[in-house]
Copies of this chain bind each other. A is one copy, B any other.
Amino acid sequence: MAVKAQVLYSFTAEPGNNELSVQEGETLTLLNQSVGGGWIEAQNSRGQTGLVPEDYIQINSRSAASSTGSFNDAYSATSYSTTAPQGVNGSDAWEAHSTENCDSTQQQALAYQGSIDDDEWDDESDDGKSTGGYTWSQSEEGGGTMQRGTGHHTMKISLNKVFSKTPNPEVFLLTKHMVKENDRLPIYMGEVGPVWLYPQTQLDCVVADPKKGTKMYGLKSYIEYQITPNSTNRPVNHRYKHFDWLYERLMEKFGCAFPIPCLPDKQVTGRFEDEFIKMRMERLQGWMSRLCRHPVVANSEVFQLFLTYTDEKDWKIGKRKAEKDETVGVMVFTTMDPEIRELDPTEVEQKCETFSRFTRSMDDRVKDLLSVGHLHWKRCTGPLQKEYQRIGKAFQNLSSVFNTSGYQGEATLTEALTATGKTYEEIAEICAGQPKKDLHFLMETNSEYKGLLGCFPDIIGVHKAAIEKVKEADRLVAMNKIGPQDKHTMAKNLSTMSYALQAEMNHFHSNRIYDYNRVMQLYLQEQVQFYETIVGKLKQALSQYTTF
């Protein structure tokens, strides 16, 4: 007997990709469940066949209990950092994040329909397990995260949810850590205060040359990007899912200490369109460049693996190793080694409060700017363009009527009037095309910062939790729950966390100054050029009139 399945969520096929559009509630006959990559070949009641995403359907004869994971149980343990990696591993982890705090106004236009990356179903992970479910984040301000498939796969818990409960820093605070020299992350005192160790040569890379590849005997397509780091000058290839894997690793390892920028949103429709591929590449470039600029991230084993793996085997071994890294979550602070004296807990609290206030205020202001920028974008490409077109047409139409007057000697006027009309039509186009030239970059930078700023509440939350723990220390000593030495260790470790936060804030500030300085100049330069172009065109039109 043929296996039947119910469609849980409607799905629109990407044309030319052997997919089958299905409607929620529809019953399908499954033709081939072993296609792989998260796809199943199915036939609908009208006899049409094609691939549908495994997670969009509920197979009637299969038990829903077959894929319970250990993540939830693991999370109930005290320390997130030591247990989570056991649960979050392999390809399942790829889906375990939400881009809730990541947003890009520009991208919304493309991504509104719902965003799922093609790669989600093109699994090629080492263990061969299929990916299950995915998170879909609606990134509009104030909008929540919408997750589908969570009922079906219990593994689908976003790291954001984990974070919103704040990782417990206790395990780290009580650790009498001995940093291995290789892992050591020194924090120096620079002119501006605590700073990370910056390399002599700044790492950077070029993301380029997106190529369409196929797999499953040409049934499925994907896009592969070429990444060339300036350290080796040797290109490596990666698909979006690899970037996503890297993001997961970095979140896991550094998410308690640094803001890890989100990846550009996923999306289903139009994911093979040139415009979309170009935009995604541009954003992956921005994402990589930002990470390259972070000395700790850039120097980390997993990031270096991503940029410099030599062959498929090297990559797979590296992946396995990274996934087994235990120095993640709050335990990352065990590797941090400030060069100077311990801080007073009051000072720690003060610094934490300062950063918290700053990031919250900046977050508000960045959102304001994005909102007015979005409005301005729509005005320039909508009503303003149409209005200049109408003005242009009105001048040209008037000129046409003047041409029918039969009166001698008005050719100069009608020609000038026509030219003026055409000029305003050109201005309409220039006006509509301008946001892509200037506002775009201002919006992109602010979107990136909105994403980064959205990470701080969690980072600051960990710090606040640590401060509270240290405040309890006296009581714990009195109750004989910890020894006096433990209390000292906790204060010392809290101090380390604070230095790390300060180093990170200084890194954030210096990048912020650089980024805003650059993007504002770019914006103003392009604005100047925009208005100068209009001046030039208007002067040319003006010169055609007869001077009295």
Q: Are B408 and A191 in contact (CB under 8 A)?
A: yes
Given A368-B394, A420-B524: A361 and B542 within 8 A (CB)?
no
Q: Are A379 and B375 closer than 8 Å at their CB atoms?
A: no
Given contacts A402-B512, A416-B520, 4 further A-B contacts (CB under 8 A): A413-B513, A417-B516, A517-B546, A521-B545
Asked if A366 lies at the interface with its beta carbon under 8 angstroms from chain B, I say yes
CA distance A357 to B410 in the complex (A): 18
Q: Which of A519-543 contact B (CB under 8 A)?
A: 520-521, 524-525, 527-528, 531-532, 534-535, 538-539, 541-542
| Contacting residues of chain A (398-424) with chain B, CB-CB under 8 angstroms | 398, 400-402, 404-410, 412-413, 416-417, 420
- Chain B residues whose CB sits within 8 angstroms of the CB of A520 once the complex forms: 416-417, 420, 545
Bound CA–CA A358/B409 (angstroms): 17
Q: Is residue A387 within 8 Å, beta carbon to beta carbon, of the partner chain? A: yes
B527 pairs with A531, CB closer than 8 A: no
Contact indicator per residue, chain A 478-499, by CB within 8 Å of chain B (1) or not (0) = 0000000000000000000000
Task: Say how far A363's CB is from chain B's closest CB, in angstroms.
Answer: 9
Residue of B nearest to A192 (CB): B408
By a beta-carbon cutoff of 8 Å, the part of chain A in contact with chain B is 191-192, 354, 357-358, 361-362, 365-366, 368-369, 372-373, 375-376, 379, 383-384, 387, 390-391, 393-395, 397-398, 400-402, 404-410, 412-413, 416-417, 420, 505-506, 509-510, 512-513, 516-518, 520-521, 524-525, 527-528, 531-532, 534-535, 538-539, 541-542, 545-548
What are some 30 contacts across the A-B interface (CB < 8 A)? A192-B407, A192-B408, A358-B401, A358-B404, A362-B398, A365-B397, A366-B398, A369-B394, A372-B391, A375-B390, A379-B387, A407-B509, A407-B510, A407-B513, A409-B513, A412-B517, A413-B517, A416-B520, A420-B524, A517-B548, A518-B548, A521-B547, A524-B542, A525-B542, A528-B538, A528-B542, A531-B532, A531-B534, A531-B535, A535-B535
Nearest residue (CB) in B for A389 is B372
Cβ-defined partner of A376 (8 Å) among B375, B391, B510, B538: B391
A372–B388 CA distance with the chains assembled, in angstroms = 9
Q: How far is the CB of A7 from chain B (nearest CB, A)?
A: 44
Enumerate chain B residues within 8 angstroms of A401, measured Cβ to Cβ.
Answer: 358, 361-362, 365
Chain B residues near A409 (CB-CB < 8 A):
192, 513
What's the least CB distance linking A465 to chain B, in Å?
24
